[in-house]
Structure 1
């Protein structure tokens, strides 16, 4: 089965497989959203079914919750968990200080709440997600539907005074209709090219009326696990200042790879 995977999917898989080594019996684990996080959920499900791992998972979206239940992970709410030992999630971009852009999958609000309610956040990504400066990936900003065009105009005005290359702001669509998040909100995608000061931009965005949250994750990620298509993984710990390398062999598993979506 793994022989049919593209190099990018192999990279996502090995990053996810390595990251679940951080999960211990009895933990409350935040379960991220997106293609790389889906590999992680399936890896955890395999450990639950075959090794008897006992964990409780707090998903960051309805689709992650559905997948977690499907693979046998006990799902609870964040209110039930109150606090988490660990969150594992993907990222659309990360820089050298492990600041992130997230929200390409539309779940940035729940992802940020869950990540900040955790003792540790681990990001899993393929090597292409690492950038010198954040901003090439459009920055998602979740806004309430009421007055969203006013919120967009205020964001566009604000962008004039901050250190970014571009200022195009588009409403994310789902076919002919605006994309709707799990919370019933819309997403504005900011095409910035390059973000000079992510911390400043995150703070200013959240002061704009109508903005619920933005996809800049600053000082939240502790470890990034970077996968490569040849099975290599690099673990970068921002708190310890360490970089470790490993290599994982691909293991055939019809259960793990069945019905895997991009």
Structure 2
């Protein structure tokens, strides 16, 4: 579905992401973990053509998308839910969802979004900016789904969201892959959300890939999860970059 090879990306003359390689298979949820400043959002922006300088190769459905403009990448079938949500606050919920359909040529709002997040159906005439933070997040996800993507990039969907809605998002993500034949790249520093949703993940530290492999479920009574050490405050200061961590 998505293939990233030796990706370097940054701003001006400064690389933030260094030689990252990653693939996402059809109907798969892949997590991207890391502390603040690890390069997670830069990776997403590079995939979506939002950065001025990118080297390496990004392919989607076996076709290169490196160098395409953002709207062209969206029309190929990649949807983005950016960090901070970026809904249209003065538009109603219905109008926000209709904006999302433009990537699919102005199609109708998907009924499935109300199956996943029924709260939106009761708020269709309400301005997006008056919703709670969690409701704005599910609106941003639903808006992206209305574009009928084949791959969804979720950048920090748990940021500023109440725990019950984070849990619901964690339930919806794998359900999307099953019902909508969708693949998801889940960028997070919320380990519990990645453990709930993904079966495979990579970890970035200082813009470099320091771990890749299957996601082991959390087992009660066995102490801290092995991936938690990459999310501690000291993790970026001394990344554990060892060959045995790359599976």
TM-score by length of structure 2 reads 0.29
TM-score by length of structure 1 reads 0.27
